Amino acid sequence: MSNTNCLKGIRCPKCGQEDRFMITGYAQFEVTDGGSEATGDHEWDDRSMTRCPNCDRSGPLSDFMLGASEHGAAE
């Protein structure tokens, strides 16, 4: 599958999977003593920690971008 939206240019460098990833992102929350609720959009960038649920490869999102070098990337 060739992604054209949120995962465009993203593929696991270990197993080649490109359908689904766990990406740590940023969000704003309204927090009260009673709990919290997300407000607004959520975001991520090329430094966001990413994990492939298929093979468990993890590292910054930049490691998963097509053309990223394998050298020095964590496994």
Bridge partners for 39 per DSSP: 28
Neighbours of 55 (CB within 10 A): 14
Tens of pLDDT, residue by residue, the chain (75 residues): 578 898 999 999 999 999 999 999 999 999 999 999 999 999 999 999 999 999 999 999 999 998 765 434 444
7-45 per-residue burial string, b: 16 or more CB within 10 A, e: under 16: beebbbbbeebbeebebeeeeeeeeeeeeeeeeeeeebe
- With the C-alpha atoms ordered 16, 21, 54, 4, is the resulting torsion angle positive or negative? negative
Tokens of 36: 């919290």
